[in-house]
Structure 1
Amino acid sequence: MGAFLFFFFFIVSISGILLGAKKNTAGYILPETQTGQTSNFEEWKSIAVLENIAQQTLKDSVSSLLSRDIDRMDIRKEKGIVKFLFKNHIHEIQLDGTTGEVLSIGQRRSDVIENIHDGSIVDDYLGTGGYFKLVYSVSMGIALLVFTITGFWLWYGPKKLRKTGR
Structure 2
Amino acid sequence: MRATVLNRKVHYWLSLGIALPVLLVLLTGLLLQVKKQVPWVQPIENRGTGKSPTVEMAQILAICQSNPETGIQSWADINRLDIRPSKGLIKVATEANLEVQIDAGTGAILQIAVRRSDWIEALHDGSFFSNAVKYGIFLPSGILLLVMWLTGMILFVQPMWIRWRRKRQAGQSGKSVER
The TM-score with structure 2 as length reference comes to 0.78
The percent identity for this pair of structures is: 31
Match of 1:113 in 2: 120
Alignment check: 8 A CA contact 2:21 2:137 kept: no
Q: Does residue 80 in structure 1 map to residue 81 in structure 2?
A: no
Could you tell me which amino acid in structure 2 is paired with residue 100 of structure 1?
A: G
Matched, 1:55 2:57: no
Q: How does 1:1-166 map to 2 (within 5 A)?
A: 1-25=14-38, 27-41=39-53, 44-57=54-67, 60-63=68-71, 69-87=77-95, 89-123=96-130, 130-166=131-167
Q: Tell me how far apart the structure 1 counterparts of residues 104 and 70 of structure 2 sit (CA, whole Å).
A: 21
TM-score by length of 1: 0.84
Contact 2:64 2:72 (C-alpha < 8 Å) held by counterparts: no
Query: What is the alpha-carbon distance in structure 2 between the residues aligned to residue 16 and residue 115 of structure 1?
Result: 11
The alpha-carbon deviation at position 68 of structure 1 amounts to 6.1
Q: CA RMSD in A?
A: 2.1
Q: What is the identity, as a one-letter code, of the residue corresponding to 1:106?
A: A
RCO higher in structure (CA 8 A, sep ≥6)? 2
Q: Contact conserved, 1:92 with 1:107, CA < 8 A, in 2?
A: yes
Please, which runs of 5 or more residues in structure 2 have no aligned partner? 1-13, 168-179
Q: CA deviation at 1:141?
A: 2.1
Q: Distance in 1 between matches of 2:30 and 2:134?
A: 19
Runs of 4 or more above 6 Å deviation: none
User: Which structure has the greater CA radius of gyration?
Assistant: 2
Q: How many residues align?
A: 154
Q: Distance in 2 between matches of 1:68 and 1:28?
A: 25
Query: What's the secondary structure of 1:33's corresponding residue?
Result: coil
Q: Shift of the alpha carbon at 1:29?
A: 1.1
